Structure 1
Amino acid sequence: MSEVVTITPSAGKARRWPRLKLLAAILAAVAVLAIVGFAGWVISLGPLPLEKAREVSTTTVDRNGKLLRAYAMADGRWRLPVDAKANVDPTYVKLLLAFEDQRFYSHHGVDPLALGRAAFQLATRGHIVSGGSTITMQLARLMEPRRQRSVYAKLRQIVRAIEIERQMSKDEILNLYLALAPFGGNLEGIRAATLGYFGKEPKRLSLAEAALLVALPQSPETRRLDRYPLAARAARDRVLERMVEERRITADDAVQAKAVPVPKLRKPMPILAPHASDQAVAIIKDAPVIRLTLDSSLQKVLEPLARDRALALGPNISVGIIAIDNASGDVIAHVGSADYFDESRAGQVDMTRAVRSPGSTLKPFIYGLAFEDGFVHPESLIEDRPIRFGSYAPENFDLTYQGTVPVKRALQLSLNVPAIALLDRVGTSRLASRIRQAGANLVLPKEEAPGLAMGLGGVGVTLRDLAQLYAGLARLGNTRPLREIVTPSNEERDTLRLLDPVAAWQVGNVLMGTPPPENGVHNRIAFKTGTSYGYRDAWSVGFDGRITIGVWVGRPDGAPVPGLIGRAAAAPILFDAFARTGKLPVPLPRPPKGALLASNTKLPPPLRRFRPIGELVRSGGEQAPHIQFPLNGSRIDVDRSAGSEAAAMPVRVAGGVLPMTMLVNGMAVGEIDGRRQRLIDPPGPGFARLTVIDATGAADTVVVRVQ
């Protein structure tokens, strides 16, 4: 009888259990190895290249943060920093997220729903209908660009996207994407795109512009506006149609947006204040954004003013303009040349920093020191007649003389002889020292000391320094070092002494009465003009209670320009510049305490007339003799055919102590009568020297031309 063996179910399970345990162990090992391998692969990716991704074009901005100039990156790309909330139109951001990543603010880098939808559409339709990449995944691809599209590349993007979400906020991710997104050619980022295609910042965009900008990054090179505008337009219209389908916009709005043509040409990147920007970039290294004190709205109107006036004045002429806020010392406009790109006018040479001869523009500071020293007052009388200081004999610009004039009139008419007479009394070294003390640099020929000629332009100075000095007059005698680049270290700057407040106010008040050019209004701006020797430089600097503006006109190479004078060439530009500020002139400060306001007759006797060094000063209150007629330098026409009495030449004298002797060419011809007059026989044709000597030995002399 055979034996029957029966296998029970529990026994079969007992035999399979070791195999299941082995399989589980193998699977666990494989999983561990996969996890370890995946982790190793993730580690091998290295850290996120955030530092490189955040590299942007260097930009300069004005005092309000508005773009002045952008510089391309080293590889030629334009990539500007972006703040989506502050500087990008919300319509564009809404369209972008609706089209590319509807759950951007809720996912953690990867959107499984979007990936599933994209895979299903690919499987059912046979082609890509919509991408499954989130904004974060696209940012990962932009940070580590790869040409091939594969499962490996997609997996890498997913990993990087998760890393990005762990290290950055949603706003930071969006801003970085908007800075890196490609828009064709060398344009990267929304700001570079709107500046390059629309000529404006992305802060305000139309629906058509916003839809176009959403479409371009999907295929930037095949939709470049400057090469394939039709393809770009078709892509824009598809974006609009999808937004209608998803009820993001109305059909009517889409129809109107589709009717808008797309740009077909690139626009140049903005270049405002190029000289100031170049200087800032040279000083501030490796800063993505450099803030300047300039006002872009004022800069925009002064640059074309300089260009247009230079073109009107002739070939090779350039113009420099600088505007300063009096209160702060901040430079609010800086026009270095007529045209930055005009080589014939040396456009890239910054003429606000060029050392040139200032002509008569230093005269106000001579008068200011004279007022400060107390030996002269704006209403004092001063002589404008031929005079010699050793071997130096200054002459007026028009080679004529005004005789006796009020000091304020001598400054307003920019008479040379009175200015040099005052400088002789003030002292050239003291003038140079005070100007340097106020922060301006005077450049003298090598190993040469300051001389009287510096009062008429015999020294070098820049337009910046000159404007700083004039701003000191508006500030009642103290200057502030100019500031053009905003840094924490230059917020506070010490003031520098130029003049005492009363003297500075007196100079400003006198300059306010300077006759304006034809396009100017009287008593609105205190200003001074200047012309350097040989017609090489024309200047005009003026100020009101708010700003100071300086203008230089000439050839950058220093060649003479016949007929180029400050009043005709520079002063009209100055008054136009003030008009283009868009604001009415602000009155100058009120007279400070201690200012003497009086007519000449009400002045103390020592102040009624300026006395050069060495002239006799009366102790008993008498005035020295002064020939009132004829005026020094005047021309006398004599009709000799009418007889000796009719041809007699009258001489009238003021002041002096009787008796007074009259001399003609050094020979006595009699005494002045009690009415302080005398008729003399005119000498022969030519120059004649008429001299009066009173009883105390005081004398006065004039030189006239007899015809």
Structure 2
Amino acid sequence: MPALLRGRRWARGLLGLAGGIVALAGALLALDRALPPDLSRLEAVGRVVVDREGRVLSALPAPGGVWRLPVSAEEVPRALVDLLVAAEDRRFRWHPGVDPLAVARAALGGLRAGRVVSGASTISMQAARLLEPRPRTLRSKAIEAARAVQLEWRLGKAGVLRAWLTLAPMGGNLEGVRAGSLAWFGRPVERVGVAEAALLVAVPRRPEALRPDRHPAAALAARDAVLRRRGAAALPVAEREAARAEAGRAGDGAVPWARRAMPGLAPHLAREVAGGPMAGASAGVVRTSLDAGLQRGVEGVAAAVLAGLPARGSVAVVVADLRTREVRALVGGDWLAEGRAGAMDLTRAVRSPGSALKPLLYAMAFDRGLAAPGTVMEDLPRHFGDWAPENYARGFSGRVTAAEALRGSLNLPAVALMEALGPLRFASALKALGAVPRLPPGTGPALPLALGGVGITLRELVGVTAAIGDRGRAGALRVLPAGPGGEGAAPVLRAGAAEAVAGILVQGFPGGGPAGVAWKTGTSWGGRDAWAVGFDARHVAGVWVGRPDGTAIPGATGRGTALPVLARVFALLPPAPRPGEAGERAVARAGVVDGLRLLFPPAGAVIGEGAVTIRAVGGQRPLVFLVDGVPVAAGGARREAGWVPPGPGFYRVTVVDAAGAAASAPVRVGGVPGVE
């Protein structure tokens, strides 16, 4: 019986203890919920924008101008965390936020000496103080201890390390090892050496007294103390020897004597993506599709060009991968130059493209059989309703091929093609290519689209041009890396038509430059916008030069002002020349790709009453040419035949090959002359 009573008492005791533990846990949980730690400083961070390889492009400060950049223990070298733990909190891995042994040691030392001789602050307690700074009092210490346990409970060891690494003061307005590494060493924290890591651990102890730029000797001593007496003990032998060698190579040269400027490549794009979707190891790192080396080179070219521009003149540049449409370099203007509207991203400014859209117009005309590179067209004075367009040089060239008209940027043939194609169809193609047309209020698509009568941005123009260089595929430019399948895009043009136009545009740069680049220029009315776009086999690029306020730069043209810049940009890229396919070679290639087709006259053409040369491409020879079902002379092994219309009227021209394939086009003889 006594044993049974003892058992019952023991059971009741266990139940009481368990109840007490549950009650205590409940009370602590309620207290934690009632008084949660303030993590706002940890979340109020700046952004780091990196390129496609993770190289830093730009850093943007946190609100208030503080350089507080987030970082986690997984992102820094292992030696940095090892040095931190060894120097500041050797038992960090096992204590719950407060180290009882360190507290006891500090208390005994203080009693014996009558003053504080050693601290008991753990990394967790330091993180609590960094999150919620307080005066250095015993009461504050008690609160920090409670918060440290709370942080360990909520965030775990990794979260506590993240807080310390992000918030540790590095002197001045620098916080965290990422900002410290960029400012003191000019490199990402991921790439610091052991001695540099030791300095980052040492400075937060007395951030103003140990600033390397103001107190280099003190900073050097503190760093060496971390390496010799504390931190180095935590390192493997090989790393310890490497750290000593690194620290001793240049005497005190391993300690920086000046603070470096924060990286600031691609400032317009950095601010664009900083508030958008994030990609990277932490929420504060944004990975873009840019190439840091190319970006630096393009910015150098732009700076040299800006030096030679008149007041308020500016330049914008976009370079992208032709297949993926990933932007590799982007210059939005002269950053923060007030007179040049430097804060405005001019790659997104809506401007008039002049003749820079003509390649798309010709590609669509080739695609629909309205013309081909060898088609003879008339560059002569002509009215389109009440409109009588002129060429930029005011003169006329007479009869030219379509290839010559495109290379020479002649206006009359382009407007004639727009009339045959239809402005609405052209505007729809622009929209499909990601360039929604901006038209004057209350108007719809009209013939002036052929000469730049539409608003477009440089980014959109580069995207449209990329479709010509990429076998007719649509695809919007992207500044974040493409995921799997990022190259998949619907074609808006037949490959043969796009390649024919690309071949026509492959020509040497007038002032010299890389070979095998297809290019086109454009100048808006009054010289307000000078454009040049081009592509080789791997990249597409575009340049805009003008004034952000829309006023003209006297004498500025696409060919004379923007094209030399484009040549310098392509000189920065690895050579990837395209084959040139101008004139009849382009005609032949288009014929092979697209099968039997009538090149001239195109469907719906209005031609004069003189002799006409009917031309065809593709198909299996011999060819037979017919007009209204009646064979005409020549043909056979040749791909053309002469025909003299008997008089004005409507006719159907047909070609039949040896395999029985046929192509035909209705035409009109007489009336207003059109293409020929």
- TM-score for the superposition, normalised by structure 2: 0.76
- The count of residues paired between Structure 1 and Structure 2 equals 590
Is the 1:330–1:482 Cα contact (8 Å) retained in structure 2? yes
Could you tell me which amino acid in structure 1 is paired with residue 294 of structure 2? L
Instruction: Identify the residue that residue 505 of structure 1 maps to in structure 2.
Output: 499
After superposition, what is the alpha-carbon deviation per residue over 1:533-571, rounded to whole angstroms, capped at 9, x for unaligned?
211111111123333211111111111112211122212
Could you tell me which amino acid in structure 2 is paired with residue 219 of structure 1? R
Instruction: Identify the residue that residue 557 of structure 2 maps to in structure 1.
Output: 565
The CA RMSD over aligned residues, in Å, is: 4.1
How far apart, in 2, do the equivalents of 1:435 and 1:299 lie? 28
Could you tell me which amino acid in structure 1 is paired with residue 599 of structure 2? L
Q: Does 1:269 align with 2:262?
A: yes
Instruction: Identify the residue that residue 425 of structure 2 maps to in structure 1.
Output: 430
How far apart, in 2, do the equivalents of 1:224 and 1:340 lie? 30
Q: Does 1:168 align with 2:168?
A: no
Is the 1:325–1:332 Cα contact (8 Å) retained in structure 2? yes
Could you tell me which amino acid in structure 1 is paired with residue 368 of structure 2? D
Is the 2:322–2:470 Cα contact (8 Å) retained in structure 1? yes
How far apart, in 1, do the equivalents of 2:111 and 2:317 lie? 67
Q: Please report how far the alpha carbon of residue 63 of structure 1 lies from its aligned counterpart in structure 2 after TM superposition.
A: 3.8
Instruction: Identify the residue that residue 597 of structure 1 maps to in structure 2.
Output: 588
What SS class does the counterpart of residue 430 from structure 1 fall into?
Answer: helix
Instruction: Identify the residue that residue 519 of structure 2 maps to in structure 1.
Output: 527
Is the 1:438–1:496 Cα contact (8 Å) retained in structure 2? no
Is the 1:481–1:493 Cα contact (8 Å) retained in structure 2? no
How far apart, in 2, do the equivalents of 1:658 and 1:613 lie? 14
Is the 2:500–2:589 Cα contact (8 Å) retained in structure 1? no
How far apart, in 1, do the equivalents of 2:643 and 2:356 lie? 36
What SS class does the counterpart of residue 544 from structure 2 fall into?
Answer: strand
Instruction: Identify the residue that residue 299 of structure 1 maps to in structure 2.
Output: 295
Which residues in structure 2 correspond to 1:285-684 (within 5 Å)?
A: 288-337=284-333, 339-485=334-480, 495=489, 497-512=491-506, 514-522=507-515, 524-581=516-573, 583-585=574-576, 587=578, 597=588, 607=599, 613-616=605-608
How far apart, in 1, do the equivalents of 2:38 and 2:481 lie? 27
Q: Cα–Cα, structure 1 residues 540 and 456, in superposed 2: closer, same or farther, change >3 Å?
A: same
How far apart, in 1, do the equivalents of 2:289 and 2:297 lie? 16
After superposition, what is the alpha-carbon deviation per residue over 1:337-367, rounded to whole angstroms, capped at 9, x for unaligned?
1x21111211111111111111111111221
How far apart, in 1, do the equivalents of 2:547 and 2:472 lie? 32
How far apart, in 1, do the equivalents of 2:232 and 2:287 lie? 45
Q: Cα–Cα, structure 1 residues 145 and 402, in superposed 2: closer, same or farther, change >3 Å?
A: same
How far apart, in 1, do the equivalents of 2:393 and 2:123 lie? 74
How far apart, in 2, do the equivalents of 1:301 and 1:223 lie? 36
Q: Give the stretch that moved more between structures: 568-577 or 203-212.
A: 203-212
Q: Does 1:153 align with 2:140?
A: yes
Is the 1:545–1:589 Cα contact (8 Å) retained in structure 2? no
Instruction: Identify the residue that residue 206 of structure 2 maps to in structure 1.
Output: 219
Could you tell me which amino acid in structure 1 is paired with residue 349 of structure 2? A
Q: Cα–Cα, structure 1 residues 432 and 247, in superposed 2: closer, same or farther, change >3 Å?
A: closer
How far apart, in 1, do the equivalents of 2:262 and 2:55 lie? 14
Q: Give the stretch that moved more between structures: 469-478 or 42-51.
A: 42-51
Is the 1:237–1:258 Cα contact (8 Å) retained in structure 2? no
Which residues in structure 2 correspond to 1:51-200 (within 5 Å)?
A: 51-59=39-47, 60-86=49-75, 88-119=76-107, 122=110, 130-150=118-138, 152-200=139-187
Q: Cα–Cα, structure 1 residues 410 and 147, in superposed 2: closer, same or farther, change >3 Å?
A: same
Could you tell me which amino acid in structure 2 is paired with residue 77 of structure 1? V
What SS class does the counterpart of residue 478 from structure 1 fall into?
Answer: coil
Q: Please report how far the alpha carbon of residue 487 of structure 1 lies from its aligned counterpart in structure 2 after TM superposition.
A: 10
Q: Give the stretch that moved more between structures: 103-112 or 210-219.
A: 103-112
Q: Give the stretch that moved more between structures: 349-358 or 220-229.
A: 220-229
How far apart, in 2, do the equivalents of 1:587 and 1:357 lie? 28
Is the 2:461–2:542 Cα contact (8 Å) retained in structure 1? yes
What SS class does the counterpart of residue 550 from structure 1 fall into?
Answer: strand
After superposition, what is the alpha-carbon deviation per residue over 1:127-152, rounded to whole angstroms, capped at 9, x for unaligned?
655533222222222233221232x4
Is the 2:369–2:598 Cα contact (8 Å) retained in structure 1? no
Q: Please report how far the alpha carbon of residue 179 of structure 1 lies from its aligned counterpart in structure 2 after TM superposition.
A: 0.8
Q: Cα–Cα, structure 1 residues 206 and 439, in superposed 2: closer, same or farther, change >3 Å?
A: closer
Is the 1:384–1:415 Cα contact (8 Å) retained in structure 2? yes
How far apart, in 2, do the equivalents of 1:566 and 1:365 lie? 17
Is the 2:369–2:603 Cα contact (8 Å) retained in structure 1? no
What SS class does the counterpart of residue 54 from structure 1 fall into?
Answer: helix
Q: Cα–Cα, structure 1 residues 550 and 167, in superposed 2: closer, same or farther, change >3 Å?
A: same
Instruction: Identify the residue that residue 621 of structure 2 maps to in structure 1.
Output: none
How far apart, in 1, do the equivalents of 2:670 and 2:80 lie? 91
Q: Please report how far the alpha carbon of residue 335 of structure 1 lies from its aligned counterpart in structure 2 after TM superposition.
A: 1.6
Is the 1:555–1:561 Cα contact (8 Å) retained in structure 2? yes
Is the 1:194–1:201 Cα contact (8 Å) retained in structure 2? yes
How far apart, in 2, do the equivalents of 1:547 and 1:354 lie? 22
Is the 1:198–1:267 Cα contact (8 Å) retained in structure 2? yes
Q: Please report how far the alpha carbon of residue 288 of structure 1 lies from its aligned counterpart in structure 2 after TM superposition.
A: 4.2
Q: Please report how far the alpha carbon of residue 588 of structure 1 lies from its aligned counterpart in structure 2 after TM superposition.
A: 7.7
Q: Cα–Cα, structure 1 residues 439 and 453, in superposed 2: closer, same or farther, change >3 Å?
A: same
How far apart, in 2, do the equivalents of 1:504 and 1:37 lie? 72
Q: Cα–Cα, structure 1 residues 383 and 64, in superposed 2: closer, same or farther, change >3 Å?
A: same
Q: Cα–Cα, structure 1 residues 400 and 344, in superposed 2: closer, same or farther, change >3 Å?
A: same
How far apart, in 2, do the equivalents of 1:221 and 1:282 lie? 32
After superposition, what is the alpha-carbon deviation per residue over 1:441-481, rounded to whole angstroms, capped at 9, x for unaligned?
22222223333332222222111111111111223223123
Q: Cα–Cα, structure 1 residues 385 and 185, in superposed 2: closer, same or farther, change >3 Å?
A: same
Could you tell me which amino acid in structure 1 is paired with residue 446 of structure 2? G
Q: Cα–Cα, structure 1 residues 38 and 183, in superposed 2: closer, same or farther, change >3 Å?
A: farther
After superposition, what is the alpha-carbon deviation per residue over 1:605-658, rounded to whole angstroms, capped at 9, x for unaligned?
9635779943247899789xxxxxxxxxxxxxxxxxxxxxxxxxxxxxx98869
What SS class does the counterpart of residue 534 from structure 2 fall into?
Answer: strand
Q: Please report how far the alpha carbon of residue 492 of structure 1 lies from its aligned counterpart in structure 2 after TM superposition.
A: 7.2
Could you tell me which amino acid in structure 2 is paired with residue 210 of structure 1? A
Q: Give the stretch that moved more between structures: 359-368 or 373-382.
A: 373-382
Q: Please report how far the alpha carbon of residue 430 of structure 1 lies from its aligned counterpart in structure 2 after TM superposition.
A: 2.5
Is the 1:56–1:81 Cα contact (8 Å) retained in structure 2? no
Q: Cα–Cα, structure 1 residues 453 and 255, in superposed 2: closer, same or farther, change >3 Å?
A: closer
Structure 2: segments with no counterpart, 5+ residues: 1-19, 616-640, 647-668
How far apart, in 2, do the equivalents of 1:573 and 1:531 lie? 15
Is the 1:381–1:609 Cα contact (8 Å) retained in structure 2? no
Is the 1:370–1:422 Cα contact (8 Å) retained in structure 2? yes
Instruction: Identify the residue that residue 260 of structure 1 maps to in structure 2.
Output: 253
Q: Please report how far the alpha carbon of residue 101 of structure 1 lies from its aligned counterpart in structure 2 after TM superposition.
A: 2.0
How far apart, in 2, do the equivalents of 1:37 and 1:609 lie? 90
Instruction: Identify the residue that residue 644 of structure 1 maps to in structure 2.
Output: none
How far apart, in 2, do the equivalents of 1:42 and 1:448 lie? 66
Q: Give the stretch that moved more between structures: 461-470 or 258-267.
A: 258-267
Could you tell me which amino acid in structure 2 is paired with residue 316 of structure 1? R
Q: Please report how far the alpha carbon of residue 160 of structure 1 lies from its aligned counterpart in structure 2 after TM superposition.
A: 3.0
